[in-house]
Structure 1
């Protein structure tokens, strides 16, 4: 993976971790405005996840990097995103924007189970070499919606 500089999130937490990962997946956007993207096609997605908090767990982690990889790479790599009914609703198309939000939601659900309560601050998701999306939950919202 090439080294990149990602947009920074301003925060007052003591710790911030970032995890880069990639996964190959196909999708189609079943909406008339999607043009050619209505056809099934694939991408190699590059993601960066930013997590922050003030406390570490008993093992000295804010959040284990391998858990992030398991939550995202293991779930989506070499799959058809449209087939993930547990993630996408009938009218919830797997666009880059929606994918970034869904990745955030999957990670934040896991973080919410931890006693030291780290927060996912941002998900950067690159779909092509020239196109990416950044998802950040609005401040003061619990689930980012």
Structure 2
């Protein structure tokens, strides 16, 4: 993994976990305004997921790193993003597999899983690099407001 300094988001939690991973995936953006990105092409995405919380689970983890990798890498690696249900609506720009929408979707998917955990961890940031010069940071709690 390339060493990277990620932007941090302030939060009131005792623990902060960060997981780096990568996955290779193809996509296209079904919009005339997407230019060359409207053509099928691929990337090696680099992701950093930030999860926070105040309590550890029964194994002493905030979240097991392998769980995060399973949720992201195992689902999207070597796939066509447009073929996943989350990105299959070619008439809704919020479901196009742009870097912004992929980052948001990763955060939502991870949080959906975390919601079932007794220690209630929160996904507060997804950093997603699409190319060496382009990345998106997604934070679900705009303005730093965190749910309980």
TM-score by length of 1: 0.94
Report 1:1-145 matches (<5 A).
1-85=1-85, 87-90=86-89, 91=92, 92-138=95-141, 139-140=144-145
- Secondary structure in structure 2 of the residue aligned to 1:73: helix
Structure 1 residues not aligned, in runs of 5+: none
Kindly report the root-mean-square deviation, in angstroms, between the aligned alpha carbons of the 2 structures.
1.2
CA apart distance, 1:89: 4.6
Alpha-carbon distance in structure 2 between the residues aligned to 1:34 and 1:88: 16
Alpha-carbon distance in structure 1 between the residues aligned to 2:109 and 2:125: 12
Instruction: Count how many residue pairs are aligned between Structure 1 and Structure 2.
Output: 141
Structure 2 residues not aligned, in runs of 5+: none
Relative to total residues, which structure has the larger helix share, 1 or 2? Answer: 2
TM-score by length of 2: 0.92
The list of structure 1 runs, each at least 4 consecutive aligned residues, that deviate by more than 6 angstroms after superposition, is: none
